[in-house]
Chains A and B, each alone.
Chain A
Amino acid sequence: MPDATGLELIAQGLREAEGESVVTDTLFFRERATLSVEPAHIRAVLAHLRARGYAFLASVHGVDYYPHEPRLGVCYELLDMANVERITVKVRVPSTAPELESVTPDAADGAGWPTANHQEREVYDMFGVVFRGHPDLRRILMPEDYEGHPQRRDFPIGGEPVIFTYNEHEALGSSE
């Protein structure tokens, strides 16, 4: 893990390279470093961190901060294998326009992260964050015709009826 000073140095480097407004917050909590960045610059930030050695994207996952806005968060867990340091990059997008640049494909600003393919699909499936430029953005765990994004905090647990033979017609809404 980079220490608190190391985190500030990384944030400083990012601000110098990508502009003052890129890093919105840094947090050093329980020996773990987190960088909050502007959603629009996520690709540039990850490319910058890759150049600094954080070349392995361990995980991409979503968080719902309901009722706080911007409500949806996406975390990128980066790992520097040579120095065994981890850093979390976090972006927040509003639930009204949950859009984010996909980091999966190769693009003009550098190589992509193929590992994010399935993981971004999962975030889309569970939270409804739309990843622009994703090669194959569709649901991955839920059925294709499923409505809603079940990991959101306002999606009720047990909100679906259990389907048995006696209630399948009411539950599935067929006319028969």
Chain B
Amino acid sequence: MSEYRRREQSITLAPFEQQLEDQLEAGGDEPTQELLTLNFGPHHPATHGVLRLLVTLQGEVVRDVKPIIGYVHTGIEKTAEDKSYWKVIPVIERMDYLAYYFNAMAYCSAVETLIDVEVPKRAQYLRVIHMELNRIVSHLVWLGTSALDLGAISMFWYCFREREKILDLFEMSSGQRMHTRYFQIGGVIEDIPRGFAEKLSGFLAEMPSRVDQYGDLLNSNEIVLQRLRGTCPLDAETLLSLGVTGPLLRAAGNPWDLRKAAPYSSYEDFDFKIPVGTQGDNYDRYACRLAEMYESVKIVQQALDGLPEGPHITEDRKVALPPRHELATSMEALIHHFKLVTEGMRVPPGEVYSPVESPRGELGCFVRSDGSSKPARVHMRDPSFVNLQATSPMVKGAYIADMIATLAMLDPILGGIDR
């Protein structure tokens, strides 16, 4: 066995369990129980992607768990180094595939900081509208699949019904339902079309009552309560030392949210609350995300009502493409268009780390520019990748069924973890 495999399969048991294991090994009598190492995944419907867990079980109790990742590693960070700045956006969006607007936002804000370009107020509001809708989409997929893990099959259809409506809105504004490439460096690619505001208003009026319905189905459901309440809690201090952010941290009572703490893209203009939990157990994780959906609806409503007039993308022609109609009349516009499309923009040398609050926590994008038209390094600090480290401390000593529930409440997205 190679050193790699040996270490992969090594288990670390707490002293108490170690004692038990020694007893099992040394006991002269026929051991009545033994530890079982089980391969859980990579292809398993409850792992929410291609995640492999090496689980050591004592009966039904999880004694050790090791997440093994890398099955969907596609080298997006490497690919990004070979593309001009604005062509990176489509590949970066495919990392965390449920939070594509957030990936684009983290990357665009990093590049915008490097270029030092200002994003028009209207573009910032449009970004907020799309990001918060995306947060609802992400939470809906999480809620549907998590409820499925717990045996509530019908939740999946209810969640995907509302998700469909948001995807229709995305299709309206950008032509794509997923991976929309709507955010550009310096703004957004197009203003929202006619009819978008009405359709969005209709959706916003309906959505809170839909979330009420989810709550009615699940909040006091006997099975949900038994599966979630009090299972696998972890305190805020441990979570912080493990680098965990987002709803998982907030469920443990720490109201850390970058939208409030360090507002970007005009989040300071909106009035919203940060839902926090008290116990840090699976139920709080569930309840926090459910409550976040109401807050996202409130933010979108405010952004739509207060949507300022003005350009939807920066007027800096070195960064953004000129409007189509100018190409026929302006030589300068034609040159700018040609330069941007062929070579791309040159970005001043420097390094920037730019974080945003994604549905899963702090999503940071590190971009290093060497002065050319392609980034020299793009790195995503993906919240799922870091949060996954909390699996083991959460589920050690819990039942294997609780591990499934915890994994669902952890909400890892393997596309973001493996990149």
Contact = CB atoms under 8 A, between A and B. Distances in A.
B242 A30 contact: no
A138 B4 contact: yes
Contacts of B90: none
B256 to A, nearest CB: 6
Interface residues of A, number: 41
A84 interface: yes
A135 to B, nearest CB: 9
A77 B353 contact: yes
25 contacts: A29-B351, A29-B352, A30-B116, A55-B240, A56-B243, A59-B353, A63-B368, A75-B351, A75-B353, A77-B353, A81-B256, A81-B261, A88-B353, A113-B241, A115-B241, A115-B243, A119-B385, A136-B7, A139-B4, A140-B69, A141-B418, A144-B5, A153-B376, A155-B78, A157-B78
A71 interface: no
A88 B69 CA distance: 27
A30 B116 CA distance: 8
Interface string A15-32: 000000000000001101
Contact of A142 (B5, B70, B81): B70
Contacts of B240: 55-56, 81
Given A81-B256, A88-B351, A144-B5, 6 more contacts: A34-B351, A114-B242, A115-B243, A150-B78, A151-B377, A157-B79
Contacts of A161: none
Interface of A: 29-30, 32, 34, 55-59, 61-64, 75, 77, 81, 84, 86, 88, 111, 113-115, 117-119, 122, 126, 136, 138-144, 150-151, 153, 155, 157
Contacts of B114: 30
B352 A32 contact: yes
A140 B66 CA distance: 12
Classify the secondary structure of B's interface with A: mixed
Contacts of B244: 115
B366 A144 contact: no
B273 interface: no
A140 B389 CA distance: 13
A153 to B, nearest CB: 7
A29 B350 CA distance: 8
A115 B350 contact: no
B277 interface: no
A59 B419 CA distance: 16
B286 to A, nearest CB: 24
Interface string B52-91: 0000000000000000011001010111011000000000
Contacts of A57: 243
B379 interface: yes
Nearest to A157: B82
A130 B2 CA distance: 19
Nearest to A138: B4
